Structure 1
Amino acid sequence: MRPLPMLPPASLSRTALDRNHSLRSAGIDAVWETGRAHAVVGHRGNLLISRGGLHLLTREQVPQNALLFYLGTDAAGDHFVGAALLDEGRAELDRWVGAQQARDAEAWLTDPIGGLDATEPTWMSLRDLGEQLDDRDVALATSLTALANWHFAHTHSPRNGQPTEPVLSGWVRRDPEAGSEHFPRTDPAVIMAVVHTDEQGEERLLLGSNAMWPADRYSLLAGFVEPGETLESAVIREVQEEAGITVRAPRYLGSQPWPFPASLMLGFTAEAESMAASADDDEITALRWFTRSELRDAIAAREVAVPTTVSIAGQILYSWLANDSDAPSDRL
């Protein structure tokens, strides 16, 4: 197969943030005391946004029961605290936003911009914001979402079942009795463009439809890395399990955090030895091979739905489509 280029930082992989470990160890109060700290808030995977980016709050505006994390500092020297809200905190903040809108009702009615550019604060999901936020804000939003998911799911020690408490500005949970420390979980998963090249040199990409998806939705094969396994071995094993074919020459392309709830997606290509694929009928219910022209036509005709470039799956898929010198750019 024709080698694909390494993926540039895109979507949730982008960053313009120094995580600033030295200030992290000083604690959240020290961050606020810099006088240059702002809060960004999240609730169940949604972020508060306004005027083209994450909406920034002062220390006093953050609901009292929010779980706080120090996320880092930007190039201008401003510091950012992530605030993960419980349901009551979201309700409290929504009441404040409503009061602000009522106070500024005339300006709000004459400038009813929606979405990311909303004049007044509004909530949007990270999946929808992944390609719209700038590099700094997408790094803040991704870290906040990942940390919030971990904290809310890991409130007790796995060793003795005792409640733990956040320390190190939200990057560690500690058992106050035993003193054991527990760190945020990240689950590595491989996702691969499986390509077969025939005797004439034409490439075909293998896409699968997951049992939980609509019948017309297709994507690259993927799976979690198992304990004691290399990334390359995981690529070979997952393709064998899901499609029943042997692949060789796994080649790394890039990675992307995917905090839904705690994955790190590691992108690969792999060369298929044959096209005799068979869906496992457990996770994968259908498999299809596509040439570039067939896939472009199927997407254009809405015969198949494929991932957008907010995910690394879409980034790899469209990179493969574009990796053809004869392809007209207006068909991508």
Structure 2
Amino acid sequence: METTAEEQLIGPLLLARGTIDRSSALRADGRWLEQAWSDPTTRVLVIDDGHTLVRRVGDEVRAVLYAPADAPPGPRYLLGVEDGIAYFAVAAPLPGVPKGEVNGRVTFAMKLGDTPDGKPVAAGLRQVGGLLGDRDAGLLVYAVAIEAWHATHEHCPRCGARTEIQAGGHIRVCPQDASQHFPRVDPAVIMLVRDERDRCLLARGPQWPKGRLSILAGFVEPGESLEHAVVREVAEEVGITVANPRYLGSQPWPFPRSLMLGFFADAVTTTLRLDGEEIAEARWFSREELLEALQSGEVRLPPPVSIARRLVETWYGGHLSGDW
């Protein structure tokens, strides 16, 4: 199963750009972890419900990183090492952000533009993931994912006892039965379906407003291959048969714990029969029709930070405007 030359992804997958060494061998070394935390060169990313602080520095957007002595108290997780510097995340309220303000950052891009250089602003991955540099984007994706796992896995699924954090935040251990529990990742396929006329299929769920379209996606079921998941999900959601699924790339999507696996697939049938619970609208688009719909405002695409946008642009053959 190979991609053709015209099916090489356009542009980077913006949430798959991490640069640090995750240094998994160091997680179980308690002495090293304490020494690293005591090192003033260590840097700490504070994470609160999927948000962190960023600041504008000239034309760049950077994550606000603290020395350990300046970081607020809270559970800490080793993110890795780069150029001899250790990076941790701490789950705690963001310094200087009033309670209740973190989840209200829906106008981040506008606020950042109005903010003087150097002033910290609270932001989430959807808002800032594509603006950060490679290192900081990778740190934030990692921190968001591991914070979300800890927040929902505080108790042992066997006996209900409160588990303890070990291995630099990468294991929770039950004090009652000694069972170990590891961060969970949910694989999901996301596929751009194209027909024999090279039209692209776009759809929206009933929870989305009219005009907000994307490609199809769904979780992989137990005992199922990725390719079978592509075929099954398309048939379930829009009632068409696809063949020849071709893998193009993957990207973490920690909302809260997905790993998106991107595919192209060829439609064998084209008559749509929608699953009304999951799909409210689905349409075939030629490149010309999609461009016209975007320019008129009739259609809006997922943001560039998503793998869905990259797959649509790869099919189209260039970058497009019209974000959600």
Shift of residue 114, structure 1, vs aligned partner: 4.3
State whether structure 2 residue 72 is matched by structure 1 residue 73.
no
Shift of residue 113, structure 1, vs aligned partner: 6.8
The match for 1:108 is none
The match for 2:140 is 141
SS in 2 for 1:22: helix
State whether residues 210 and 284 of structure 1, in contact with CA within 8 Å, keep that contact through their aligned partners in structure 2.
yes
TM-score normalised according to structure 1 size: 0.85
The match for 1:174 is 173
The match for 2:157 is 158
Which amino acid in 2 is paired with 1:82? A
Q: Which residue of the other structure, out of 16, 36, 39, is the alignment partner of 2:41?
A: 36
Question: For 1:115 and 1:225, how far apart are their aligned partners in 2?
Answer: 42
State whether residues 53 and 116 of structure 1, in contact with CA within 8 Å, keep that contact through their aligned partners in structure 2.
no
Shift of residue 331, structure 1, vs aligned partner: 8.2
Question: For 2:204 and 2:112, how far apart are their aligned partners in 1?
Answer: 37
Question: For 1:310 and 1:204, how far apart are their aligned partners in 2?
Answer: 23
The match for 1:53 is 62
Shift of residue 93, structure 1, vs aligned partner: 4.7
State whether residues 9 and 314 of structure 2, in contact with CA within 8 Å, keep that contact through their aligned partners in structure 1.
no
State whether residues 40 and 67 of structure 2, in contact with CA within 8 Å, keep that contact through their aligned partners in structure 1.
no
In structure 2, the gaps of 5 or more residues are 99-110
Q: Which residue of the other structure, out of 231, 239, 246, is the alignment partner of 1:244?
A: 239
State whether residues 278 and 287 of structure 1, in contact with CA within 8 Å, keep that contact through their aligned partners in structure 2.
no
State the Cα deviation string for residues 18-67 of structure 1 (Å, max 9, x = none). Answer: 11122222243232134421111111111111233111112122222x12
The match for 1:265 is 260
SS in 1 for 2:199: strand
Percent identity over paired residues: 40
State whether residues 189 and 224 of structure 1, in contact with CA within 8 Å, keep that contact through their aligned partners in structure 2.
yes
CA spacing shift, 1:45–1:117, aligned 2, 3 Å: farther
Shift of residue 330, structure 1, vs aligned partner: 8.6
Shift of residue 164, structure 1, vs aligned partner: 0.2
CA spacing shift, 1:197–1:300, aligned 2, 3 Å: same
CA spacing shift, 1:37–1:116, aligned 2, 3 Å: farther
CA spacing shift, 1:125–1:118, aligned 2, 3 Å: farther
Shift of residue 137, structure 1, vs aligned partner: 0.4
State whether structure 2 residue 89 is matched by structure 1 residue 82.
yes
State whether residues 40 and 68 of structure 2, in contact with CA within 8 Å, keep that contact through their aligned partners in structure 1.
no
State whether structure 2 residue 21 is matched by structure 1 residue 14.
no
Shift of residue 10, structure 1, vs aligned partner: 2.1
Q: How many residue pairs were aligned? A: 301
Question: For 1:29 and 1:49, how far apart are their aligned partners in 2?
Answer: 27
Larger radius of gyration, structure 1 or 2? 1
Shift of residue 116, structure 1, vs aligned partner: 8.4
User: Where in structure 2 are the equivalents of 1:1-332 lying within 5 Å?
Assistant: 4-6=7-9, 9-27=12-30, 28-50=33-55, 51=57, 52-64=61-73, 66-74=74-82, 76-85=83-92, 89-90=93-94, 93-94=96-97, 114=113, 118-198=117-197, 203-322=198-317
Question: For 1:115 and 1:182, how far apart are their aligned partners in 2?
Answer: 44
CA spacing shift, 1:197–1:137, aligned 2, 3 Å: same
Which amino acid in 2 is paired with 1:53? R
Higher share in helix: 1
TM-score normalised according to structure 2 size: 0.87
CA spacing shift, 1:117–1:127, aligned 2, 3 Å: farther
